[in-house]
Chain A
Amino acid sequence: MDENTKNEIENEIQSNDVVLYMKGTPVFPQCGFSASTVGVLNHLGIKFSTVNVLENENIRQGIKEYANWPTIPQLYVKGEFVGGCDIIREMYESGELNELISSKGIETN
């Protein structure tokens, strides 16, 4: 991963509390796993920003290297990688995701 891509990722996840790297957008997700993760975040009323990896091949590859995680979507909270689709769903079902969000003082609707 080149330095610019790394800086871009770090800037994104440091300047937004909750960031989802996904395929497509929340309104038009282009992959079932991304769609399901958006659904969980929306359901919990979490405000989040997104990066559509399909628009930037450097970011698409770079983010996998950054988190040592081979798949998209990827969720970051306060600059830290939390997990992909399966982990987010498990954390949602166990209530851990809600706990994490409130313990970090993140606004929900």
Chain B
Amino acid sequence: MAMEASEIEKLIKDSLPDAIVTIEDLRGDGDHYSCHVISKEFEGKTRVKQHQMVYESLQGRMGNELHAMALQTSVPK
């Protein structure tokens, strides 16, 4: 049960095409990631909504194949 960082990035960019996605594989095991997503789509939305948008882009993988991913979202400066 692991996911490649490139696959995570692709799924996020499929639904948020302008996103700048930075992913760090925290333990090098393909199972513990830290992910920062910057997109103008987040503008005016609550943090909960922003994170939900990212989780939706992962189509149910978060909490399943993708066990642990710390997530940070922001709008471009």
Using a CB–CB cutoff of 8 Å, the interface residues on chain A facing chain B are 33, 64, 68-71, 81-87, 90-91
The 5 listed contacts between A and B (C-beta, < 8 Å) are A33-B68, A69-B51, A69-B52, A87-B47, A90-B47
Q: How far is the CA of A31 from the CA of B51 in the complex (A)?
A: 20
Closest beta carbon of chain B to A29's beta carbon, Å: 14
Contacts of A90 on B, CB cut-off 8 Å?
47, 72
Whether B48 and A83, one on each chain, are in contact in the complex, defined by CB atoms closer than 8 angstroms, is yes
Whether B62 and A70, one on each chain, are in contact in the complex, defined by CB atoms closer than 8 angstroms, is yes
Contacts of A71 on B, CB cut-off 8 Å?
62-63
Partner of A87, one of B48, B60, B68: B48
Apart from A83-B48, A90-B72: 16 A-B pairs, beta carbons within 8 A = A64-B63, A68-B52, A69-B52, A70-B60, A70-B62, A71-B62, A71-B63, A82-B48, A83-B47, A83-B51, A86-B51, A86-B70, A86-B71, A86-B72, A87-B47, A87-B48
Contacts of A33 on B, CB cut-off 8 Å?
68
Contacts of A86 on B, CB cut-off 8 Å?
51, 70-72
Closest beta carbon of chain A to B61's beta carbon, Å: 9
Binary per-residue interface labels of chain B (63-75) against chain A in the complex, 1 for a CB within 8 Å, 0 otherwise: 1100010111000
Q: How far is the CA of A69 from the CA of B53 in the complex (A)?
A: 10
Whether A81 and B63, one on each chain, are in contact in the complex, defined by CB atoms closer than 8 angstroms, is no
Closest beta carbon of chain A to B22's beta carbon, Å: 14
Contacts of B51 on A, CB cut-off 8 Å?
69, 83-84, 86-87
Cβ-closest chain A residue relative to B49: A68
The 8 closest A-B pairs by CB, nearest first: A70-B63, A70-B62, A71-B63, A87-B47, A86-B71, A70-B55, A86-B70, A83-B48
Q: How far is the CA of A64 from the CA of B55 in the complex (A)?
A: 12
Q: How far is the CA of A20 from the CA of B55 in the complex (A)?
A: 21
